[in-house]
Structure 1
């Protein structure tokens, strides 16, 4: 049974891991802020992206995937821009990601995610 509290940590993911998490969310009917294939086309394949669980999210119509974590995502795009997005992640999938960031880096990432920054939707409006 999943915990009712989100883990208070930030995890780094490469683009392959991020695309896998996005595909898992799509298959499970969880929330994502981009369409199928969007990340594969636009995420920098060499970049490191960051996930920070923000809240516990439950879906009445998908109890088999509830609760799960609604994560803030610091996403690096192919044009080098960093944008804010959200991605729902299953607790087991988040837990399976390595814990490899030091405290200072986690603090910097959370501050960046909480500061005003361009969203995926805003970037998409400008870049089609």
Structure 2
């Protein structure tokens, strides 16, 4: 990974997202959903989208610094799309395939930036 924030959007399946979330929990990264949360609430058949926006550096934890903080467009079992965050290790992010064309990435970026999506916390307060 270069020293800057990757300028891309990556599509991920629910099983892959659960794996990335489990890795964030294992490495004690701040932005994760908690054990079992995605399995319980995310649509198991959906494609979700990760958009990096920050390389998070932790001087007191060099073994996980930097890691990629991503905006997450997440589809829930009830069909609603929500906004969340997920911290991803650089090698794990880089290993995700690039499957989206520029137009699809632009639509997702626009939705994440301007779509008025409920946050994970807002969605959870009305659905758990």
TM-score (norm 1): 0.95
Tell me the number of residue pairs that the alignment of Structure 1 and Structure 2 aligns: 127
SS where residue 74 of structure 1 aligns? strand
Whether the 8 Å CA contact 1:57–1:67 is kept in 2: the answer is yes
For 1:42, the equivalent position in structure 2 comes to: 41
Query: Superposition RMSD on alpha carbons, in Å?
Result: 1.0
Equivalents in 1 of 2:110, 2:2: separation in Å? 25
For 1:9, the equivalent position in structure 2 comes to: 8
Deviations 1:63-88 (A, max 9, x none): 11100110000000000000000000
Q: What displacement does 1:48 show?
A: 0.2
For 2:70, the equivalent position in structure 1 comes to: 71
For 1:111, the equivalent position in structure 2 comes to: 110
Equivalents in 2 of 1:24, 1:51: separation in Å? 15
For 1:126, the equivalent position in structure 2 comes to: 126
Q: What displacement does 1:58 show?
A: 1.3
Please say if 1:86 is aligned against 2:85: yes
User: Unaligned stretches of 5+ in structure 1?
Assistant: none
Q: What displacement does 1:34 show?
A: 2.3
Deviations 1:19-65 (A, max 9, x none): 00000000011122522110010010000000000111012332111
Map 1:20-35 to 2 at 5 A.
20-35=19-34
TM-score (norm 2): 0.95
User: Unaligned stretches of 5+ in structure 2?
Assistant: none
Runs of 4+ in 1 over 3 A off after TM superposition: none
